[in-house]
Structures are given as C-alpha cells and as structure tokens.
Amino acid sequence: MVESVSEPGLLDVKLDKEWNSLAMSQATTKQFIELSTQKILDDGNLVAFFNQKLDINRFFVAQGNGDSLPQVEFGGGGSDDLDKDPFEDSLEDALCVFKSGGAGGKDTDILKENEGQLLFYIDLENENIIDKQDGKLNGAQVEDDLEDEVQGSKHPLLLNQYPICEGHSLFLLFAEEGLPQVLSDELLLLLLQLFKLSGNPNLRIGYNSMGADCIANNLHFHVVYADKLLQNTNGQSVFPIENYEKKMFFRSSLRHKSQDEVNMYNCGVRFGEVLGWPVRTLVLSPEINSESEASLEDAQEALAHTAGVVLNYLIDKNIPHNILLADEGMTMYIIPRKFDLLIENVTFFTSFETLCGFIKCKVETSYKNMKVDDFKKRVNAGVSLKENEFDTIKAELIEKFLTEYEGEVIQ
C-alpha cells in the first residue's frame, strides 16, 4: 500500500505503529530495551545511558580498577590458533546496528542482509510511504513510468535493533546504490525533506562520518525523537547541546560578488559556535527574519549548499565529523573531531548522541560513576579539536565564502 505523507505527522504515526510492532516481535531488540537504563547527571542536563549489550568488558580481560578501560585479550582464548578471535562475531553483533553491503567479504544486497529490520520505504521526491511488502508501487491506476521512478527513489527505513529510545530507526539513502558514508549538498537537501514529511518538532537526525564512531560504510542516518529519548529522564525534549548558548561569528547572503554570476539562493545563512560545550561545535542555520521573503524550500537549499561546502572542506582536510539536525531541519550542528581510533582511555562511545549530551557508556562502572565535570574533561581532551585547530577551520571557511559571496564577519 502507498500512503501520501503530504499530511504533516502521518510519517510519525506510521513509524510509531510499525516500529513498536517490529521491535516487540524481535527477542533481541525487546531484551535490549528491557535492559537499557539511563540517568540524569549532576548538572541536571546531560544524560548517561548504558546497556549490558554494549559493555565492552564482555570482550576484554579486566586489568586495573576504576573507570579505566580494560585490556583486550587477543588470540584464541586458549586455542592454538592465535589468529582466531572467539569474540569477533559477538563484538561485531554488539557494535553494528545493521549489516553493511558486502558483509563477510561478499558482494551482497544490503536490503536482503537487513530484511528482518525493514520498517517501510520513504519516497521523498513524491512524498509517499511504501509498505515493505509492496517494495514498489503496484496498485491500480499506476503507470509503469511512475513505478520505475519510485523504484529508483524509494529509501528504506530500518529498525535499529539496539535502539537508544522508542522509534530509534536507521534511514538509508539510495541503499541499493551502496553509497559510502559521505554527505554532499544534494544528499543533504534530500534528507531535509524528512522534516517536511514529519511535522514533529521533536524529530532529530544524527550522522556519524567514518572515523567518527561509524561502523558501517553505507550511507545511513539515525532517526530519533528527542522527547522519547530524554523527557522521562531530564524533562527535556531537546539534546543537551541545544540548551547551550550559541554565538554567531559569520553571515553570508550567498549573493555572488561578481555581477557576472547568477545568484542561485534566495536565503542567507549564519555560522555560529556553541559556547561552553566541551566539544567545539559549528552551528549552521538559514538567516530568516521578519523581512525575509524566503520560503521553506529556499531556506533548505541555502542550508544544504552551505553545509555541503563545510563538509567538503572537512573531507578534504581528512577531519571526521558528527552531525545533529534539529529545529525541524533549520539548525545543523557539525562537530569536527579527532579520529575515533586515536582516542585513548575514553569509557563512552563518541557517536553523535554522546557528543550532543546523551552519553552512551561502554563500561558499567563508568555509567555508575559518571560525573559531568569528568565527562567534559575527558571528551574535551580526547575527542574535541584544540582551540587553535577549531579557529583555523572557522577562519578558512570564512575566507572560502568571502572569496565568492557577500558576507560579514561578526565580532
């Protein structure tokens, strides 16, 4: 069955129904939900999360006391085959929220690999929801050319088998094409349509680049609802990072300096940073005021283009990054950071949730003893870019935009 999602909120109703039905039918997910625990930290804002499934102590031999990471036990655990790791399959199962294409070294279909987690398809271009049993438009009055078009534009929404909250899903763009975990302005503009189709102000979309606590190199995004994630713990319906003060440091109209160039955007953009947050973070948003005649589409196009330039810069500089999309797609938090494999003695995951204030702990003792000051100290030293590195990014982005567009540096 094909359902139009032009009515705001229909996507949320569909997701709520299908997610709960599928999650409760799968023993692994049901058990994970039952074992999950979270608590508010001593600042009344940040939240810590833990589940035994994520406890890396299951794969290590503990050496030492306290919150420090245990040491890994390599080899076969008593086997004569030192190249064999008996924990490999369990570790991969615990870390991977879905199986990537080519799993096991084979050229496999990512949708077939994750058939059991499929909720439904979303056709963003035509604003349709497509039930998973259909897989394509097959109802009456459907022309072949329309059917082919939808087949090429349908994007699967998967159940996250290890969810951090009710409704936590994984959205895959062009899954059948096997795109890598790299964002562009065109892909981002398409992704922003989810907010238009949802109409729920609590919807948040998260993204982890490779090197930023991303396990599967297939283009995917985390779909969560902030109220379901946080409201029962800290009474909030936003990620903790959203509560921190922002300071604008640059704005651009995206109007070309050269009169020979055609202006493509009818909305300006703002660049800011989050003050006092332990991980240095960029904030992008369209510049919309009472005098602006920009439409929602204009704002989305301007934001997607600007973010695309920023992300291309980070990719060129080989800087991993995490992203949070909030405010119905009108605010984008971009966190440039250190490579995950270079981070030492951090007892929490460094994916977008943690870096935005919902801390996923790797070790149970870390969860029990977690304090805000200790977390901020560790994440600032271990994950965040240094102040001079962050300032360089800001300066070079300003220079890049001022080379082409009208703009203003805000002191």
Contact partners, residue 30, CB within 8 Å, separation at least 6: 23, 24
**Pairing verdict, β 268-274 and 282-287:** antiparallel
Dihedral of CA 381/382/384/387: which sign? positive
**307 or 177, which is more confident:** 307
| Residue predicted with more confidence, 82 or 132 | 132
**Mean pLDDT, residues 401-410 taken together:** 98
Q: Are 180 and 209 in contact (CB under 8 A)?
A: no
Domain assignments of the chain as residue spans, ordered by start? 2-61+110-409
Q: Report residue 82's pLDDT band, with 50, 70 and 90 as the boundaries.
A: very low
Eight-class DSSP state of 262: P
Q: Are 136 and 154 in contact (CB under 8 A)?
A: yes
In 3D space, the residue among 209, 160, 168, 165 whose CA is nearest the CA of residue 187 turns out to be 209
In the predicted structure, residue 196 carries a pLDDT above the cut 70: yes
> What confidence tens digit (pLDDT) does each residue in 149-187 have?
444 578 999 999 999 999 999 999 999 888 999 999 999
Comparing CA positions, the residue from 364, 385, 366 lying closest to residue 374 is 366
Encode burial over 139-149: b for 16+ CB neighbours within 10 A, e otherwise.
eeeeeeeeeee
Q: Which two tokens stand for residue 90?
A: 């369990």
Cβ–Cβ < 8 Å for 335, 323: yes
Phi, psi (deg, nearest 5) at residue 86: -65, -15
Interatomic CA distance for residues 385 and 319, integer angstroms: 10
Average of per-residue pLDDT across 274-285:
99
Q: Among 3.30.390.10, 3.30.428.70, 3.40.640.10, 3.40.50.1110, what is the CATH number of 2-61+110-409? A: 3.30.428.70
Q: What is the mean pLDDT of residues 293-315?
A: 96
Q: Cα–Cα distances in Å, from 136 out to 21, 159, 214? A: 22, 20, 30
Under a CB-based contact definition with an 8 Å cutoff, are residues 274 and 283 in contact? Answer: yes
Provide the pLDDT for residue 77. 40
User: Is pLDDT larger for residue 55 or for residue 162?
Assistant: 162
